[in-house]
Amino acid sequence: MSTTTTTTTTTSLFSSAPYIPPDAIFALTAQYNVDPSPVKVNLGQGTYRDDNGQPWVLPSVREARKAILENGLYHEYLPILGLKGLRDGVAKLIFGGGYDALAQKLATSQAVSGTGSLHLAGALIKSVTPKHLLEKRKVYIPAPTWSNHHLLFSSLGFDVVPFTYYNAHTKSLDIDSYLSALRSAEPASVFILHACAHNPTGLDPTVEQWKEIGAIVKDRGLFPVFDAAYLGFNSGDYDADAWAIRYFAAELGIECAVCASFAKNMGLYGERVGAVIIVTADGTTARNTQSVLESLQRSEISNPPAFGARIAETVLGDERLKGLWFEDLRTMSGRIAEMRRALVEGLGRYAPEHDWGHLVRQSGMFGFLGLSKEVVLALRDEYHIYMADNSRISIAGLNTGNVEYVARSIGEVLAREQ
């Protein structure tokens, strides 16, 4: 009796999946974590650290969290659009004295931190764009920018176009190229604008330059999307950091999107608390737009996470806690500014042949050192100082115990490059 064996070749559904390298910043932190050196410095990931190099729970957040727990913490679903108190509180905070005039024109939704806010805004723009216009609606992002901007909008199917933001030769904002990109873009093109504390360069337009940008945006009928991850965290003054958003929406009457996050400015990194606010032309448009946001939110995450959102809502809804939070913002921004000054002073001592004036012109969490990749790798391999390959550093990773070491190490590597 004979038997017949049939061999079946199984082809994986995922056989065509490419290998995508890990995110550079998270991979850098992973490399830092396994480095056994007793002397090492992480200047990669943008998270605030105190002068002991430790995470800091803001006093305002600690009090809000205590109040929530004392009143009873429930794990019920939030509404699809999230906590109304949070949504209204964020909008009032961002638009300040201009909120009342804009309130009926706003469509809002809670979102999963800054990333989720940007993705939801992008999905909204895609959803309301007629199919025959979708290929023409380009999304312009500054070069350089936060790496996730490319991924977010290209994954939604948009043609992502970089425009020159930074002049590497002068180590300054290239305002001429910026304005030229605005003037040459087709009407209804989307521009991603950092509201403040540009990541990675730390260079923001001046008030007068923002006015030039706003005039062109209005004249050309462009749609700005403000990435507002650092409001209040940049200068310690929330009103100052939100100036450009308020000017575009209240003064110029421009439709726009604001993508807010409380990761940095409340230290709620892992809680993923954010909100997207759409400024529309009128109340009817706002109502319709909000219904689209709700539908998109339902299809993507059903409803947003609650605990961090309740913390932010509690802080914004209590005048005493909000005042304490504003003090926390000044504490964080003040320490970062102090470390920036200390680094510049140290570099002036250890690498005096180089001009470090560009670091003084920058602000916020990040510093763009302007070092070559070879120098960056030497600092990583020999001195255990970790920073992005483009020499962007998180100033918050510096403290009184390591800033001298970092400045001296940079000076030593640069001296060898001469």
Q: Which of 88, 174, 204, 227 is catalytic?
A: 227
Residue with tokens 């950092």: 194
Which is it for the CA torsion 308, 55, 66, 258, positive or negative? Answer: negative
Q: What single DSSP character describes residue 96?
A: G
Is 146 assigned a catalytic role? yes
Contact 286, 106 (CB under 8 A): yes
Is 264 assigned a catalytic role? yes
Residues 6+ apart with CB under 8 A from 70: none
- What region, left, alpha or beta, does residue 384 occupy, with left being phi > 0 and alpha being psi -120 to 50 degrees? left
* HSE of 61, CA atoms in CB hemisphere, 13 A: 19
Is 356 assigned a catalytic role? no
User: What angle (nearest 5°) sits at the alpha carbon of residue 356, between those of residues 149 and 236?
Assistant: 55
Residues 6+ apart with CB under 8 A from 407: 343, 345, 346, 347, 349, 350, 351
CA–CA separation, 98 vs 225, rounded Å?
19
Q: Which of 146, 174, 204, 325 is catalytic?
A: 146
Helix H or strand E encompassing 417: helix 403-417
Nearest to 386 by CA among 404, 398, 399: 398
Contact 93, 241 (CB under 8 A): no
Beta strands in 197-331 (DSSP E): 223-228, 256-261, 273-279
Phi, psi at residue 110, to the nearest 5°?
Answer: -65, 150
Written as six digits, the tokens of 88 are: 């209204």
Q: Which of 56, 174, 204, 264 is catalytic?
A: 264
Q: What residues are annotated to the active site?
A: 146, 227, 264
